[in-house]
Amino acid sequence: MPPFFRFKTLAAAILLSGCAPMIDTHGDALDADDLASLKVGETPYTDVARVLGSPSVSSTFDTENWLYITSKQKRTAFFKPVEFERTVTVLKFDRSGILQGIETKTLANGKTISPDRDTTEANGKGLSFFDQMADNVGRLATDAPAH
């Protein structure tokens, strides 16, 4: 076999290996045994955090819902990744911090959310850089305490 043919074969194999799909996992998958060890109506959130770790997301305005999110995406070469698996485990707590429910959702339960395309005009948009700099002259903080 001529050396140039071997080189072309090796180069083709290397190039084609770059097209093989890669699986990316985001988040930490919860262990089924750890999840089963949690007792609804008994387990406090401190024990949940010790067993499962910190949640991926918790409620913004209260601590009543903890979400543990895991997803898998298939990425091929330069194409956009495709999510093919998602698991969201929702742990619901009462006001005293006791686990009240465990709910598991999958990719099939997901909803597509489109961001709002409206914009808000920022003040100063009509001023040039130098106009804004001149406008700020005299607005520097002083060492005097505020009253």
pLDDT at 144 over 60: no
The whole-angstrom separation of Cα 46 and Cα 95 is 14
Provide the domain limits for residue 104.
Answer: 20-110
**The pLDDT of residue 119:** 80
Identify whether 3 is part of a domain: no
Q: Which residue has the tokens 């406090």?
A: 44
What's the mean pLDDT when you consider all of the chain?
84
Identify whether 12 is part of a domain: no
Interval 47-77: pLDDT, tens: 999 999 999 998 877 668 999 999 999 998 8
Identify whether 26 is part of a domain: yes
Count: domains in the chain = 1
What single letter denotes the amino acid at residue 48?
V
Identify whether 37 is part of a domain: yes
How many other C-beta atoms are found inside a 10 Å radius of the C-beta of residue 100? 14
Cα 110 → chain centroid: 15
Which tokens in the block code for residue 139? 């607005």
Alpha helices in the chain, H assignment, sequence order: 3-17, 32-36, 45-52, 129-136
**The pLDDT of residue 105:** 93
Identify whether 119 is part of a domain: no
Identify whether 138 is part of a domain: no
Identify whether 125 is part of a domain: no
Identify whether 27 is part of a domain: yes
pTM score of the predicted model:
0.65
